[in-house]
Amino acid sequence: MKALVNGREAGSKEMGCALCGATWGNHHEEVEGERLFFCCDLCAAGFRRTVEEIKRRTGWDYIDEIQLVGNYHAGRTVTAISGGRSARFYVKFNEDAEIETFREE
């Protein structure tokens, strides 16, 4: 899975956290068959929950690419791509990385 955060490729230590783009920390998790870098376990949990919710709402088996624009305070616009299909959502997390708001855009 390819991850872009605010227009920049992310998901590795060099490129930044797959959710927020930060380069500090050292947390890795496998998501959709890819080992992705996250700055912390909260960002990993938020990312994983977002992927699960997108798949639940779309019925997709797999997400090829996820594009996130925004931040913790404002929330994020998420564009997910699977094959030739795309879907757009808005997501906002609480302080425990649980989804507080999730809606189609």
Q: Give the model confidence (pLDDT) of 23-32 as tens digits.
A: 999 999 999 9
Here the tokens at position 75 are 């929330």
pTM of the model: 0.95
d(CA 62, CA 82): 6
- For the segment 61-95, what is each residue's pLDDT rounded down to a tens digit? 999 999 999 999 999 999 999 999 999 999 999 99
What pLDDT, on a 0 to 100 scale, did the predictor assign at position 41? 97
Output the 3-class SS for the chain.
CEEEECCEEECECCCECCCCCCCCCCEEEEECCEEEEECCHHHHHHHHHHHHHHHHHHCCCCCCEEEEEEECCCEEEEEEEECCEEEEEEEEECCCCCEEEEEEC
- For the segment 48-63, what is each residue's pLDDT rounded down to a tens digit? 999 999 999 999 999 9
